[in-house]
Amino acid sequence: SGKTEAALTLAARLMAASNGHGVYLALPTMATADAMFDRVRKNDGWRRFFEEGAGQLALAHSADRLKLRLEEVNRRDADYGPGEYDTASRHCSAWLADSRKKALLADFGVGTLDQALLGVLPARHQSLRLLGLADKVLIVDEVHACDCYMGELLGRLLRFHAAMGGSAILLSATLPSNQRTRYLQAFAQGAGFAANAPQNDAFPLATWLARTGMDEQPVQARESVSRRVDVTLLPDESQAIARLEAAIGQGRCAVWVRNTVADAVDSWRQWNTAYPERPAILYHARFTLHDRLKIGERLLGDFGPDSRPETRRGRLVIATQVVEQSLDVDFDDMVSDIAPIDLIIQRAGRLQRHRRDATGSRVPADTSDGRGGVRLAVLSPEPTPEADAKWIKGLLPKTGKVYPDHGKLWLTARWMAKEGGFDVPRQARDMIESVYADEAFDCLPEGLQTVADAADGKCRADRGTARGNLLNFDEGYIPASLQWQDEGEAPTRLGEATVRLRLARLFDGGLVPWAEVDASIAWALSELSVPRRLIAAESPSDSVLIAAAKQSMVDEGRYVVVIALRRSGNAWLGRALNASDEEVRVVYSPICGLTIEKGVEDESDL
């Protein structure tokens, strides 16, 4: 808690000492980047880093143009007279906002980590991105979110950044020690000095590294964020539903965090069929951006820091992991599907997040919470010593696809079953290392070691792929380099290929954007992404309508698949082709999102 405030304070001190002339705040997702952007521009807080009238603020991610008109946010032109609208700073802001690579040149940038990682990949204008970062303090939040591939890219970025004289601040509440060591040594290598492996395993911990040495300083956690979370393992879904029913019946609000869209939709339908008088809210990533933002605003209003007892009482939310990204929501009770232990800790952060009395009204932070202790139920098979390769598949087959290292799931379940809960921050380090330390593998049942070996092999392969894609620091820019021969750009993330869908409604003989908003952004707000093997192309039966609709799009519909939807009762139906060139039926509703009723639906998609 308080990591962002600490990082910004450190960045301001570095800038005041002429060890940086700006900041780039790198976040794991667009949603978290948007939330951070709103946070730093609130009350013009970012301007305090610069002299009066100086500085430019920019947002950098793949959908940043939907966020705001940057030139309007940055306009501060006291030196110009009335009517002199097209001022120098406005033109400068517009130029910076013109592309994401130029946005990194702004004095204070907020965006996804991907935009910075492109600086160490053989991508066009790569050097412009590095130039933009060169004199900045690079702050990477939620660094634990980097998988094996992205972690390798981040290590190389730290090496480049350090070599250019930059400073970096990495933030995480759940970073394993081996990853911390890897990032520290990558930075030291770029700066040209040797660094020993860190030794202190305190939690919370601030580790400081410079040419003059390393200092590992334990940090005292605030009493208000130190707490006990009682954990109960639930062996089947019926017990999970019974747990939620009891909480809702007592007038409490609850959330069930499911690991896949398919499971979330199935549970939502079951609940609403059984309890039509108390319908649940569904929230996942397979809504159009317009509808997803509307649901997010509703959740923030009903369960956020300013929510009231009347909006919370007896309410249930069924969601995927998106509920823990950027939304400051607070639930009385939670059920979560089993996930790696660091994600369990993250999810528990949305459980009794703000101090409240028994009715749900906010109380001062120094007052005891009146909701009877923090309780988390985790849907998980029993972590028996006899567990085999089918251990997770019997109860949560889709979860097994999302988190293929079933060994880490078993280690997580074993720790929670043994301890019956966790004290944070006192036990946080032990929790993380019990799952992620190299020696944890030796504790696995023999039947799960093959699965764990396969996951470890894939991780190593992903790191190898990253090293093959990354720029060679020692090679520099030479005409004979083979790294720039590929016409395509190396990705910042690995994973299954996805496509962007653009939903359109049939209206008055033609197609109009799903989102009924300002025409300049309506098509963009009508988008969502799905795996390419589910939907790969448009239906030929709608080709004439779709071709006409694309003429009204600024980008003429390039690189998107347009789905023509027709109303059918409370839902909208459309058609498309999957990767096998088979026609599938697409169903969309602003209440439950997008589903595919023919073909094989990707059960691991989030």
DSSP 297-365: HHHHHHHSTT--HHHHTT-EEEE-GGGGSS----BSEEEEE---HHHHHHHHTTBS-S-B-TTS-B--T
Q: Which residues of the chain have pLDDT under 50?
A: 67-92, 487, 599-606
pLDDT of residue 422: 94
**What SS3 state is found at 290?**
helix
Whole-angstrom distance, CA of residue 451 vs CA of residue 433: 20
- Spatial strand order of the sheet with 227-234 comes to 281-283, 316-319, 254-257, 333-337, 374-379, 227-234, 421-424
**What SS3 state is found at 461?**
helix
Distances (CA, A) of 495 to 36, 405, 554: 26, 15, 29
Distances (CA, A) of 199 to 115, 215, 217: 32, 10, 11
Whole-angstrom distance, CA of residue 576 vs CA of residue 561: 9
Amino acid at 159: R
Whole-angstrom distance, CA of residue 284 vs CA of residue 262: 10
Check if the beta carbon of residue 137 is closer than 8 Å to that of residue 169.
yes
Question: In this structure, how many other beta carbons lie within 10 angstroms of the beta carbon of residue 107?
Answer: 22
Closest CA to 465 of 85, 121, 167, 204: 121
Which sign, positive or negative, has the C-alpha torsion 190, 191, 195, 201? negative
Whole-angstrom distance, CA of residue 343 vs CA of residue 324: 10
pLDDT of residue 58: 86
Check if the beta carbon of residue 433 is closer than 8 Å to that of residue 398.
no
Kindly report each contact of residues 515-524 with a partner whose C-beta sits within 8 Å and lies 24 or more positions away, as own/partner: 515/288, 515/289, 515/290, 517/290, 520/554, 521/65, 521/66, 523/552, 523/553, 523/554, 524/63, 524/65, 524/66, 524/289
Q: Which residue has the tokens 């910076």?
A: 96
Paired tokens of 530 = 């799905």
pLDDT of residue 75: 44
Paired tokens of 524 = 């963009």
Question: In this structure, how many other beta carbons lie within 10 angstroms of the beta carbon of residue 410?
Answer: 28
Beta bridge partners of 257: 319, 336
The contacts of residue 557 (CB under 8 Å, 6+ apart) are 502, 546, 549, 550
Paired tokens of 99 = 């592309």
Whole-angstrom distance, CA of residue 340 vs CA of residue 508: 50
Coarse DSSP helix, strand, coil percentages of the chain, rounded to the nearest 5 percent: 40, 20, 40
pLDDT of residue 483: 67
Q: What is the DSSP string of 131-143?
A: HHHHTSEEEE-SG
> pTM for this one?
0.88
Check if the beta carbon of residue 585 is closer than 8 Å to that of residue 598.
yes
Check if the beta carbon of residue 160 is closer than 8 Å to that of residue 120.
yes
Paired tokens of 306 = 């300013």
Q: Which residue has the tokens 């703000």?
A: 354
- Spatial strand order of the sheet with 137-140 comes to 57-60, 108-112, 23-27, 137-140, 167-170
Amino acid at 323: V
Whole-angstrom distance, CA of residue 515 vs CA of residue 524: 9
Whole-angstrom distance, CA of residue 321 vs CA of residue 324: 6
